[in-house]
Structure 1
Amino acid sequence: MKETQLLKGVLEGCVLAVIAQKEIYGYELVQTLKEKGFTSIVGGTVYPLLQKLEKQNLIIGVRKPSLDGPNRKYFTLTQDGEKSLSEFIMYWQGLVGKVDRLLSDYQTEGDCDEK
């Protein structure tokens, strides 16, 4: 399974987590995700997600002037967005724990077979 397939299920939570840290515009968000190791992320994936999150009232976008060109749309979390992010973190931590336990068992069994 490719990383991009796994990422589709968690990208929304990751985007909310980045926006929770500071008010941010789309291109800066993409760059932040890339800096955090999500190197396969492209704007064509993130921008539609931002529109979706805005329609769901999880984020608010406000256009502001930019010194570097046209106005930029900066995003912040709404209260619903904060709640959604908290739920994502709770579910993610539970899932990671389950997968880690499963993989730990697999690695242990694999180690025993080699001896």
Structure 2
Amino acid sequence: MIKQINRKKVRAKKHRRVRKNISGTATCPRLCVFRSGKNIHAQIIDDVAGHTLVAASSLEVRDVNGGNVEGAGVVGKLLAEKAVKACVKSVVFDRSGYIYHGRVQALAEGAREGGLEF
């Protein structure tokens, strides 16, 4: 009998493995990425206090498709702008079990261009 692979379970397992070592503090919060088929979302989270400091999504930008690389880059720049206004300079990048390629990479590069350090 062939065992079927569930992508969501594999990603969740990778995410748990990464989260053992990564946590956000007030001085260096965590930048968490969620990628769906049509959109991409990112949050900057202080895990010690349990608060989301800044959030950005492709749903906020109407001119851009969040399902492609260009849209993810725009969301990264938007997140960085909001973070700079909230006095956040450096973050820890949490790719949430996704491969650092394509939209996740574009979001990270857009955030770096916008002024975040990680």
Q: TM-score, normalised by structure 1?
A: 0.26
Higher helix share: 1
Q: Which has the larger radius of gyration?
A: 1
